[in-house]
Amino acid sequence: MTDENPFAPPTPRAAVPSANEPKTPAAAPRPEPTPDPDPETGPPAEGPVGQRTAQLPTSGYLTTLPAPPPAGSETPRAYTPHPAPHVPGSHATQPASRSRRGGIGARAVSGVVLLGLLAGAGGGVAAFGLLDGQDAVRPADAALPRPAGGADPVQRPEGSVAAIAAAALPSVVSIEVRARQGVATGSGMILKADGYILTNNHVVAEAASGADVTVTFSDGHEQPAELVGATPDYDLAVIRVEEKGLEPLVLGDSDDVVVGDAVLAVGSPLGLEATVTTGIVSALHRPVKAGEAAEAAFIDAIQTDAAINPGNSGGPLVNSAGEVIGINSAIAQGPGTAAATGNIGLGFAIPSNQARHTAEQLIETGTATFPIIGVLLDPSYQGEGVQVSQEAQQGTPAVTPGGPADQAGIEAGDVILSIDGRPVSVADELIVAIRAKAPGEPVTLNVRSGGDERDVRVVLEEQSSGQ
């Protein structure tokens, strides 16, 4: 008979004593030693060569015995184990052989089950008797220590990580965008009580093409959202849900941030909602160029070692006062890594002052602007500072006629060494330093023309996002 259960041992035959045989013989004749099945797993189950299968427990034969076949039928065995010695009181007996009448009778099945139950009960009684005889090795009391009654609860003072997290989490949301290409997820923070939410442009970029946006709040309820406005130049976007009475987070002053400040990153990394990680501000004014070249965002970023992972994008970076000092937007990846794989201790956030200015523009007009000085920069230049291109590029002049730089006397081939006393050595540094300002704001550039250096005052001009 072939066992229908490939994970069970071969079907055993019940050891049914005869009427004249005592139910518990004093000793059984010891057969010749022969290889027998593993007492724990039984003989190997039928299956593909080399395939391992898990073994179910052998104590419950109700789950391993098949129903008896009809009388007179013969089922060829694929495997016939060597007979095992009969041990009185044991679950496993000699392997069942084919019955001359074609199957195992119902009494034999009942005998196997009953014998298993009786053997289990007998073994349990014997085990307790053995332990009762060894009081010296039994613990007198198994109860583990408990906290003292009336002890004061753990105190979490104002300003602790737990207190800051408890205050921030209700105002942080998870965002899901469903488009034809797939599903994108990210984070966001409540800006206003009447449903405005700030996030990254790259989180909700597909919403501009009609993708569905769903916001999940900290209490688990969901709301559809619509895109209010977005700018790829700063990688910021505002969406809105039809809900009132929300609790907004406060945008702090990112100009007051210093290296070493303690911070919390809050969001939904890898889809794990309401996650909080801690760290410090590890650097300031880090030039970060994020996104594809056609829609790259230039960020004068706050750098942190608080763990930021895919899905944290758009969530807040919070200081010890519970104020938002940045919007988590990007993470660094090792050399040769094509896509974001996870945190390596270098995360970047858009400063809150930039986020505030851009969010206000998006809410009021649906678009945002950024400042320019009106020059093209030469990315191949390797010397000190940043060089203005020496010739036009794709029909665009190196210095925009009538633009801020032209009016300040900057010419093609000049080298810009610093902006407001802050040295610059690559083009991205100058770009993010300018974009951290507001249109109409003046800046001082240190410029070298030939062998001469001079300071020039330039009033930044406004350009709409996407132009």
- Positions marked active-site: 202, 235, 313
Rounded to 10 degrees, the C-alpha dihedral 388/390/391/394 comes to -40
Backbone angles phi, psi at 173, to 5 degrees: -120, 160
Kindly tell me the burial class for residue 340, based on how many C-beta atoms sit within 10 Å of its own C-beta (0-12, 13-18, 19 or more).
middle
Beta strands in 320-414 (DSSP E): 324-331, 347-351, 369-372, 386-387
Q: Which helix (H) or strand (E) holds 161?
A: helix 161-168
Using alpha carbons only, give the angle 416, 430, 261 rounded to the nearest 5 degrees.
Answer: 130
Contact 229, 363 (CB under 8 A): yes
Q: What share of the chain is helix, strand, coil (3-state, %, to 5)?
A: 20, 30, 55
Residue type, 253: D
Distance, CA of 432 to CA of 447 (rounded, Å) = 18
Instruction: Please report the sign of the dihedral spanned by the C-alpha atoms of residue 23, residue 28, residue 32, residue 36.
Output: positive
Contact 165, 276 (CB under 8 A): yes
Backbone angles phi, psi at 130, to 5 degrees: -65, -45
Distance, CA of 371 to CA of 206 (rounded, Å) = 26
- 164 contact partners, CB below 8 Å, separation of at least 6: 264, 318, 320, 322
Strands 262-267 and 316-319, sheet pairing: antiparallel
Distance, CA of 463 to CA of 142 (rounded, Å) = 75
Distance, CA of 300 to CA of 285 (rounded, Å) = 5
Q: What is the DSSP string of 220-271?
A: S-EEEEEEEEEETTTTEEEEEES--S--PPPB--GGG--TT-EEEEEE-GGG
